[in-house]
Structure 1
Amino acid sequence: SCGCLNFTIHLSGEIEKAKGKEATWFLERTNTKQAYEGTLSLAGIVKLYDFLSTERIVQTGGSQWKVMRCLNCQKDICCSREGRGSPSLLLNSSSIITTKEKTQAVLQSPNFSPVFGLLLSDRSIDPSILLATPSPDPGNRAETLLFQNLQTKVSKFIDEETEAMNERIAEFKKKEEEKLQKLQSQAVNDRKCLWYTLSSSSSSSRSPSSTSSSSSSSSSSS
């Protein structure tokens, strides 16, 4: 994956450190010290959002490479070439995540967006991001539609979360009401039990007294 998880790159086999002239031009263009090489599987490269990626063709060394850039990461992620030639894929080592542990760290980051499923810019470093966000250009239909799509996704997410919250509240309320009914029933039964004990005790304490009183009356009569 790329650093923000927009790109998911499916490989056939393991990646290796890229060597030779095929890697040199990519290292120079990406300004990185190391590149990896590999082979794409049938699943290929999957992007969460096409609008957060660009592609450009680079002709070098007799090969035509398609360089893919993530606009959210602001980095060239990889490049691929069709036809013969090895490697068929080069990866920017500074732009990709290669372990599950690192992916998990991204998912747990405070800058990970559950709405879009992406790692976003660090707002704690630059709070002005939230203040300086420009409005879409009304004259640019593509830009306006893109903004509307983002807003629709936000609204849908909020609606789904609200519905899920209400379901949790309803379930919690139902369980609490059941607990209350059980407590009410227990309270009444406890009162009955305690009252029965008190009543039985009171009856037992009254019986000998009554017998004794009756005996005394009989003696006096004699």
Structure 2
Amino acid sequence: MTTKDNSDKPAIVLVHGAFADGSGWQHVIPLLEQDGYTVIAVQNPLTSFGDDVATTKRVIDAQKGSVVAVGHSYGGAVITAAAAGNAHVKALVYVAAFAPDAREKIGELLDKYGPSAFSAALAPPDAAGFLYIDRAKFHDVVAKDVSLAEARVMAATQKPIAGAGLGRPFPRGISWPRKIRPSNRSFSDSWPNEWAPIRPRSSRVTCPLSRIRKKSPN
């Protein structure tokens, strides 16, 4: 496989959602690299929102030159906070992701417009307060666009998230950057998921994210 020169292109920082890790971008990374982009998938600990923001910020700060940050689901809230005040981040991309305003609670957004199937699929927190998705409901709620066999593997290897972080208000002074930098949103509104056109609205940044698949929020 040949790749294009990436000397004048931004680094792409991919941020996974809850109950997942960086390997969830395994089908996206080769496509971006083939087009000449440097791609880094963050491995967030999911131990707290603050820990995830700090980890993502560290990865963003380590890149040379401009950055496009891409967040899936819970990862959308993470990139919003991690990119705040960083002039090197030229665009944010939200893939079926949370984009909370200041003082909004991430967990409350799940049911803001009525009860969600996702909330009903959460198992009771474990002894340390970490949340999992009921394995019997994982395929239908999170991964309906993959085979049942693959969904079972995803359910067995899901990475739990600290429930306390979902109930904390989004920090003051940080919110979805409508007027700060280019941002694009991709919504998952039907099954099976489809390929979604996503491109940062900036003449300074071109990023072929039109081949990122939409995923349901997690």
TM range, smaller chain:
under 0.3
Flag the structure with more relative contact order, 1 or 2, with Cα contacts below 8 A and sequence separation at least 6: 2
Q: Whose strand proportion is higher, 1 or 2?
A: 1
Q: Whose helix proportion is higher, 1 or 2?
A: 1
- Bigger Cα Rg: 1
TM-score by length of 2: 0.24
